[in-house]
């Protein structure tokens, strides 16, 4: 399904592995769609990445330069996702 372009705020959402509850959202700065598609291995280049994409520990180095408020990465206690929140 192709979605029309919409205005969104991109963020890293941090969820508890115990409760599944959202703990924090960390807004991204300088989002570049092609760079994020490459980093997160999105094969379809027409994919606008509006859906949740899982973040792994190998992605943290790339993400650091796109975060003013970096989470305390703890992949045992939390799961992280790239999300697009509508404005």
Q: Is the pTM of this model over 0.95?
A: no
pLDDT, mean over the chain? 92
The string of DSSP letters for 67-86 reads BSS-----TTTEEEEEEEEE
Token pair listed for 71: 């989470």
Residue 4, pLDDT above cutoff 50:
yes
Task: Count CB-CB contacts under 10 A for residue 63.
Answer: 19
Which of 10, 46, 13 has its CA nearest to residue 30? Answer: 10
- List, in order of start, the domains of the chain with CATH numbers: 8-86 (3.10.50.20)
pLDDT of residue 47: 87
Q: What is the pLDDT of residue 45?
A: 86
Q: What is the mean pLDDT of residues 12-33?
A: 96
Q: Is the pLDDT of residue 2 over 50?
A: no
pLDDT classification of 34: cutoffs 50, 70, 90: very high
């Amino acid at each position: 399904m192709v979605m029309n372009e919409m205005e969104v705020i991109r963020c890293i959402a941090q969820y508890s592995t115990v409760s599944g509850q959202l703990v924090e959202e960390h807004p991204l700065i300088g989002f570049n769609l092609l760079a994020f598609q490459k980093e997160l291995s999105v094969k379809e280049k027409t994919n606008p990445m509006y859906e949740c994409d899982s973040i792994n520990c190998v992605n943290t180095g790339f993400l650091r330069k796109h975060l003013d408020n970096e989470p305390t990465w703890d992949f045992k206690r939390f799961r992280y996702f790239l999300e697009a929140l509508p404005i």
